[in-house]
Amino acid sequence: MQASIIGLDIAKSVFHLVGQSRSGAEVLRKKLRRAQVLSYFTQLEPCLVGIEACGGAHYWGRELQRLGHRLRLLPPRAVKAYLNGAKNDYNDAAAICEALKNPRIHAVAVKSVEQQDWQMLHGLRQAAVKQRTALANRLRGQLAEHGVVVARGIGTLRRRLPEVLEEADNALSALARELFAEQYQELLRLDEQVHRFDQRLAGIVREHEVPARLAQVCGIGPLLSSALPAHFGDARQFGNGRALAACIGLVPHQHSSGGKPRLLGISKRGNAYLRSLFINGARAVLSHAQGREDRLSRWALALAARRPYNVAVVALANKLARIAWVVLARGEAFDPARA
């Protein structure tokens, strides 16, 4: 009997799949080596295949779609609720099958190679920035141990460290000067690495239509205008802008009962990197809104006048996310008069 849905549990080397018929009966249970997966699915009639959205899932999703199969990437948390019995590979594949039947589970869109390349670029930049911040904090602490206090800020440290090394009357020994000089060169290397990543991201914005349109929105710079399409694609998986903002965690968390709505702070669900970029962009818009006459700036200033500053910033970030959805999903250019 032909399987109409298949749950595929992917791994590094050995894959397990469970197939069910339209009636829900299990008709297929198989273990495959990695090299056998595509040739096996080539022999199958096109069907609905489910995979947990984990490492390697987007690659396999693209390959199976190329073979004519319908593909749904499911959040692991949603699949976990359908696990029946002890955790093993076949039970995991069966749980994916059961989760495929629930239309309320929102599938993860399969990313293109270009999206994954852009995400890798952002990930490498984040890693370099994190290393640079850790190095700067470590250098300030080590300098303080030698009686030299440097104010916070990488720019301040970058400027003061050569001066400290040139001072002959401080308490630094010859070995300490040598070690600090080596760490200073490492700091400069990380600065150059971050700069190269920024140049590549700016090139993406110049050369691709969607990031270029996003970059026209107030508060959305090269980082966010390339990170957003890398994460969501064209965003048509969301029915409206509020759904996109909710996915990023920029809407109030709800704790309601007995018909009484109760809204708390923002949910902070989804991608923290995107959320931080939206909030930083909103801060930039609000800090430069004074004296501007566009509709978005006037709205932000009016909100900041009656609500706490951080509340106004988050509300503006939510609005920027909704505007970004229009640009991504409808292909429209940003119009300040309509914002």
CB neighbour list of residue 313: distance below 8 Å, 6 or more residues apart: 279, 282, 283, 286
Q: pLDDT tens across 174-187, in order? A: 999 999 999 999 99
CA pair distance 8, 6, nearest whole angstrom? 6
In this predicted structure, which of 11-15, 170-174, 179-183 has the lowest mean pLDDT? 170-174
CB neighbour list of residue 87: distance below 8 Å, 6 or more residues apart: none
In this prediction, residue 252 carries a pLDDT of: 86
Does pLDDT of 44 surpass 90? yes
CA pair distance 159, 266, nearest whole angstrom? 39
Q: pLDDT tens across 155-165, in order? A: 999 999 999 99
**How far lies 148's CA from each of 107, 158, 170, 175, 228, in Å?**
54, 14, 8, 16, 42
On the 0-12 / 13-18 / 19+ scale of CB atoms within 10 A, 94 is: buried
Mean pLDDT of the chain: 93
In this prediction, residue 312 carries a pLDDT of: 95
Does pLDDT of 339 surpass 70? no
In this prediction, residue 268 carries a pLDDT of: 86
In this prediction, residue 282 carries a pLDDT of: 96
Q: pLDDT tens across 191-234, in order? A: 999 999 999 999 999 999 999 999 999 999 999 999 999 999 88
Average pLDDT over residues 86-103: 94
CA pair distance 138, 144, nearest whole angstrom? 10
Reported confidence tier of residue 305, pLDDT bands at 50, 70, 90:
very high
In this prediction, residue 250 carries a pLDDT of: 94
Reported confidence tier of residue 261, pLDDT bands at 50, 70, 90:
confident
In the numeric block, the tokens 């959305």 are attached to 220
In this prediction, residue 200 carries a pLDDT of: 97
In this prediction, residue 1 carries a pLDDT of: 65
Strands (E), the chain: 5-9, 14-20, 26-33, 48-52, 70-74, 252-254, 263-266
In this predicted structure, which of 82-96, 152-166, 248-262 has the lowest mean pLDDT? 248-262
In this prediction, residue 164 carries a pLDDT of: 92
